[in-house]
């Protein structure tokens, strides 16, 4: 084979491989998956609590398959919904989000917002996600209807944990909550939620969109038993047998999704430590609708 023919064949194989990988990545971004996890965090003697963790829906009009899958989650009959933000991805996404959640809005719930609830997504070079964080944030694109989203969630009875502490009763559990606004945009006000968690509560839970270490450190140090977060998309593009390349925050890739401890080397019962659940989320930016080795997910956690 001549060098020119070898080069053409190599380029052709590369193009076919690239096209096949892209096609798979687009397919995987719609391969919605329910994860089931057990978190041993309840006081002895309490009945299990089923918690549905939703994050990073990134809904746009016309995503009928995603919306139908979300609606199907009501059949799980969770006791509690924890929504960790980035519901919106389009100025007209409010109605589809509320329709997709449907009966879940009748279930006790809590929520915080993410950066993509506030500002419309923009076209960016996806390779920037693989580079060190330069601190640039999208705060100049048109605002999304986040005020209406908050009003709709609170009208349904969900607790708004935006830089707030609160409490609620779910089943036979008194739960103390602390939540912060989006740490990725540095909207989090840690001083507003600082202080020891309510020792009289049966369970203490912290909620944030992005799992930045400063937030995790404070919530765990203040005595919260568990922390829920999203934002990372599980890395979105992962290497098989290796995992995520980036987390889009300062959390290390080994804890980019799933159930872990914080600090990472702590054990249940250690003072100043907590369970950490990071959702890989259900969506993507509409400008980068791909996932590789990281399926979109919702998680049903059984607290025991």
Residues in the chain where the model's pLDDT stays below 50: 15-18
H or E element that contains 15: helix 3-28
Distance from the Cα of residue 256 to its chain's centroid: 10
Contact 248, 231 (CB under 8 A): yes
| DSSP single-letter state for residue 303 | E
Reported as a single tens digit per residue, the pLDDT across 162-187 is 999 999 999 999 999 999 999 999 99
- How many helices and strands in the chain, by DSSP H and E? 6, 14
CB of 189 within 8 A of CB of 165? no
Q: How is the chain split into domains, by residue range? A: 31-303
Choose among 99, 91, 97: nearest CA to 119: 91
pLDDT value, residue 67: 97
Q: Interhelix angle for 94-101 vs 146-155, to 10°?
A: 30
Query: CA 67, CA 89: separation in Å to the nearest integer?
Result: 13
Distance CA 205, CA 226 (A): 5
**Per-residue model confidence as pLDDT tens digits over 237-251:** 999 989 999 999 999
CATH class of 31-303: alpha beta
- The 3-state secondary structure of 217-254 reads HHHHHCCCCEEEECCCHHHCEEECCCEECCCCCCCCHH
pLDDT digits (tens, 9 = 90+) for 34-60: 999 999 999 999 999 999 999 999 999
Strand partners for 301: 37, 51
Given a contact cutoff of 8 angstroms between Cβ atoms, the answer to whether 258 and 93 are in contact is no
Distances (CA, A) of 95 to 99, 104, 203, 276: 6, 15, 33, 31
């Amino acid at each position: 084979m001549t060098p020119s023919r070898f080069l053409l064949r190599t380029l052709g194989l590369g193009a076919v491989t690239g096209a096949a990988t892209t096609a798979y990545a687009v397919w995987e971004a719609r391969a919605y998956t329910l994860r089931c996890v057990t978190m041993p965090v309840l006081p002895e003697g309490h009945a299990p609590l089923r918690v549905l963790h939703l994050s990073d829906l990134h809904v746009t009009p016309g995503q009928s398959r995603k919306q139908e899958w979300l609606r199907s989650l009501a059949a799980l009959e969770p006791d509690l919904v924890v929504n960790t933000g980035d519901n919106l991805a389009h100025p007209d996404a409010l109605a589809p989000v509320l329709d997709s959640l449907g009966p879940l809005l009748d279930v006790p719930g809590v929520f915080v917002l993410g950066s993509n609830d506030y500002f419309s997504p923009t076209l960016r070079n996806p390779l920037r996600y693989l580079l060190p964080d330069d601190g640039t944030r999208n705060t100049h694109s048109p605002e999304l209807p986040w005020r209406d989203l908050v009003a709709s969630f609170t009208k349904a009875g969900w607790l708004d944990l935006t830089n707030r502490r609160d409490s609620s009763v779910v089943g036979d559990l008194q739960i103390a909550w602390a939540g912060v606004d989006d740490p990725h945009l540095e909207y989090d006000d840690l001083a507003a939620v600082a202080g020891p968690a309510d020792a009289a509560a049966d369970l203490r839970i912290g909620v944030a969109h992005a799992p930045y270490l400063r937030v995790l450190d404070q919530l765990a140090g203040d005595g919260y038993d568990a922390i829920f977060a999203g934002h990372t998309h599980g890395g979105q593009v992962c290497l098989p047998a290796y995992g995520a390349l980036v987390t889009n925050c300062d959390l290390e890739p080994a804890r980019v999704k799933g159930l872990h401890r914080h600090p990472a080397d702590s054990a249940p019962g250690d003072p100043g430590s907590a369970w950490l659940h990071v959702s890989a989320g259900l969506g993507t930016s509409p400008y980068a609708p791909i996932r590789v080795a990281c399926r979109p997910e919702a998680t049903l956690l059984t607290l025991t």
